[in-house]
Amino acid sequence: MNNVFVYIEIEGAEVREVSQELLTKGRKLANQLGVELHAVVIGTGIRGKVEEQVLPYGVDKLLVFDGEGLFPYTSSPHTDIVVNLFREEQPQICLMGATVIGRDLGPRVSSSLTSGLTADCTQLEIGPYEDKKSGRVYENLLYQIRPAFGGNIVATIVNPDHRPQMATVRSGVMQKALYEGECRKEVVYPEVGRYVGPEAFVVRVLDHHVEAARHNLKGAPIVVAGGYGVGSKEGFDQLFELAKVLHGEVGGSRAAVDAGWIDNDRQIGQTGITVHPKVYIACGISGQIQHIAGMQDSGIIISINTDPDAPINKIADYVITGSVDEVVPKLIKYYRQNSK
Amino acid sequence: MSLRIVVLAKQVPDTRNVGKDAMTPEGTVNRAALPAIFNPEDLNALEQALRIKEHQPDVEVGVLTMGPPRAGEIIREGLYRGADTGWLLTDRLFAGADTLATSYALSAAIKKIGNVDLVIGGRQAIDGDTAQVGPQVAQKLGLNQVTYAEEIIKVEDGRATIRRMIDGGVEVVEAPLPLVVTVNGSAAECRPQNAKLVMKYKHAACPLEVSDDDPRRALREERPYLVLNQWSVADVDGDPAQCGMSGSPTKVKEVQSIAFQAKESKSLSASDADLNGLIVELLNDKIIG
């Protein structure tokens, strides 16, 4: 009862990194609340393969549901398992990745349990809440903090009366870390048939194809990111050139992705990838909150912008006032000259 | 086989142009202060519905939207592009709804419409980016769902075959009707407005959009298709406690315009000397190398 749960996402028998990141966050929340961290993983042929990818992140109890037809993921069987499990366990918090799976499963579970769900949180904290109408004060609620409204504001959402308090978080927003403290590390293998009936298995996956990522933006030590100020698809070629000489990767703001100048799997921000590089070079990016949420923990931030008052300049270590067209080729040139 | 398709569409503030008065003191969106558009991914959804209609006989496509009276514009825009009908859910009791209360209202309307085979909506709306309403509507109706669809490949014999995006790949799934599908922005773009349909429907309006002295009243009496369906909570047999603010488990605790912790930054020009100096400094500090 009342514990913190993390839904563990898998591809085959491989646990996705976002789930490990959530375990680390979930462990912190559980410690703060004085409760246990439980993890649930659902798949086919995973027994004996997933446990060691989950337990080291501070899990007190891991529930492994292993049965036919549970991989690839389909909505109804996974929903039924999670909903029936939660009816028994009554968790107070449930975290899922803000992935295609988490954003398919989370709302379905929340609707089944009439609990609140907040998507794409960038911070999760514990704190009190006073309902101004009733005057009632709630202790130890989960603050679900996210940029909202196209990234123009940051909202703190709470679910005072409904459990579990559910949140999804994008990959890379939290940092994973092996847990050094004490935890129980119990593993159980519940009988799948007790949680989901055959009638749930009606969507058939005819073809399931996953490719290795085409880039390593998330783990790149140097990121060159372009925004609307880059001006064109061709303008991004220079950014790729700069990234190549610096051994970095290229990302883009939502505006650049919307303009079709760069693929959407390279979008940096709250609704894209969150990066923590050593050096972040923002080229023609004004700095909407929704973008900054995805890069503010970068080591050194260099902003190139024609507008000396661009919002991103406030968090930049170096502000270069000038056009991307002019500055980027010069950076390439001087790097080549000086690095030899 | 006849097929009834409901397209879920939302009128959204254009979040690319947001001013300071965009939020109310209560932390909800001040929609009146912003330009309103047809949510982009809902247009992708409409296109998928219209393609099914093109490829088989006896398909009816209706646009369902919830919002203030001015959201009637969404239904008109759907009609201009080829939808057959539409419904506006509008009632003060719907105001302040989070995704769950919104889903409740939409599911009540879909039950009221009746005999719906396919519900197709955009994956998410640009003012919330939550992607929750589609799956929640499916759950409330007890239907299966396929999210992140890129193409509804075919609908036949009571089953739909759909290509969908997944993290790092694609999937093709087959699911029985009735079904809820949410469509991703990477799906085909919506067809443009059709000039003939614009002429036909430009004076269509929901009753609440029309003032007493509207010069087109007589025209609408003559042509009933110009009177758009408008439903309240009571019209869809809704439970007021599950609608709007009272039906919303999530509450907004606070809303902030974030002031970033300003750093002490070095200002540089685009001159050769400045940029060369920067590169040398970063190399010397082993920040790049």
Interface predicted TM-score of the whole assembly (ipTM), two decimals: 0.87
Dump strand ranges (E) for A84-163.
93-97, 117-121, 123-130, 137-148, 153-158
Q: What is the mean pLDDT of residues B171-175?
A: 97
Partner residue opposite A100 with nearest CB, options B132, B166, B275: B166
Q: What is the mean pLDDT of residues A309-337?
A: 94
Q: Which residue has the tokens 């990121």?
A: A223
Of the pLDDT bands very low, low, confident and very high (cuts 50, 70, 90), residue B182 is very high
Of the pLDDT bands very low, low, confident and very high (cuts 50, 70, 90), residue A182 is very high
Question: Residue A275: what pLDDT?
Answer: 92
Q: Identify whether B257 is part of a domain.
A: no
Q: What is the domain-level CATH number for residue B86?
A: 3.40.50.620
Which CATH fold would you assign to the domain A4-119+163-200?
A: Rossmann fold (3.40.50)
Burial, B120: exposed, middle or buried (Cβ in 10 Å; 0-12, 13-18, 19+)? Answer: buried
Question: Residue A322: what pLDDT?
Answer: 95
Contact yes or no for B135 and A308 at CB 8 A? no
Most A CBs within 10 Å, among B14, B265, B284, to test the A interface: B265
Q: What is the mean pLDDT of residues B126-141?
A: 93
User: Which residues on neighbouring strands pair with residue A258, listed in sequence order?
Assistant: none
pLDDT at B106 over 70: yes
Q: Identify whether B284 is part of a domain.
A: no
Q: What is the mean pLDDT of residues A82-87?
A: 98
Q: Identify whether B267 is part of a domain.
A: no
pLDDT at B259 over 60: no
Question: Residue A219: what pLDDT?
Answer: 84
Partner residue opposite A161 with nearest CB, options B249, B266, B282: B249
The total of structural domains in chain B comes to 1
pLDDT at B31 over 70: no
Q: Identify whether B256 is part of a domain.
A: no
pLDDT at A68 over 90: yes
A222-338 to CATH, choices 3.30.750.24, 3.40.50.1220, 1.20.20.10, 3.10.180.10: 3.40.50.1220
Strand (E) or helix (H) holding B15: none
Contact yes or no for B146 and A203 at CB 8 A? yes
Task: Look at residues B280, B266, B287 and name the one whose alpha carbon lies nearest to residue A303.
Answer: B266
Q: Identify whether B43 is part of a domain.
A: yes
A249-252 β-sheet, strand order: A249-252, A222-226, A279-283, A300-305, A318-321, B266-269
The answer for residues whose C-beta is within 8 angstroms of residue A146's C-beta and 6 or more apart is A118, A119, A120, A121, A122, A154, A155, A157, A270
Q: Please say whether the beta carbons of A157 and A123 come within 8 A.
A: no
Q: Residues 264 to 303 of A: which have CB under 8 A from any B CB?
A: 264, 270-271, 278-279, 289, 292, 296, 299-302
Rounded to whole angstroms, the Cα distance separating B214 from B212 reads 6
Cα-Cα-Cα-Cα torsion A133, A135, A137, A143, nearest 10 degrees, comes to 20
Q: Where are the domains of chain A?
A: 4-119+163-200, 222-338
Amino acid at A214: R
Rounded to whole angstroms, the Cα distance separating B37 from B63 reads 15
Can you tell me whether residue A137 is helix, strand or coil? strand
Of the pLDDT bands very low, low, confident and very high (cuts 50, 70, 90), residue A116 is very high
Contact yes or no for A158 and B263 at CB 8 A? no
Residue-averaged pLDDT of chain A? 94
Q: Which residue has the tokens 């080291």?
A: A56
Least confident of A205-214, A228-237, A330-339: A205-214
Q: State what percent of residues in chain B have pLDDT above 90.
A: 75
Rounded to whole angstroms, the Cα distance separating A252 from A266 reads 6
| Host domain of residue B156 | 3-247
Q: Please say whether the beta carbons of A118 and A146 come within 8 A.
A: yes
Most confident of B124-128, B218-222, B223-227: B223-227
Question: Which residues in chain A are contacts of B276 at CB distance < 8 A?
Answer: 330, 334, 337-338
Q: Identify whether B276 is part of a domain.
A: no
Burial, A89: exposed, middle or buried (Cβ in 10 Å; 0-12, 13-18, 19+)? Answer: middle
Q: Identify whether B213 is part of a domain.
A: yes
Q: Please say whether the beta carbons of A185 and A57 come within 8 A.
A: no
Asked if A4-119+163-200 and A222-338 have one fold, the answer is yes
pLDDT at A5 over 90: yes
Q: Which residue has the tokens 């929901």?
A: B206
The answer for residues whose C-beta is within 8 angstroms of residue B15's C-beta and 6 or more apart is A149, A150, A151, A152, B126, B127
Which two tokens mark B84?
A: 């057959």
Amino acid at B86: G
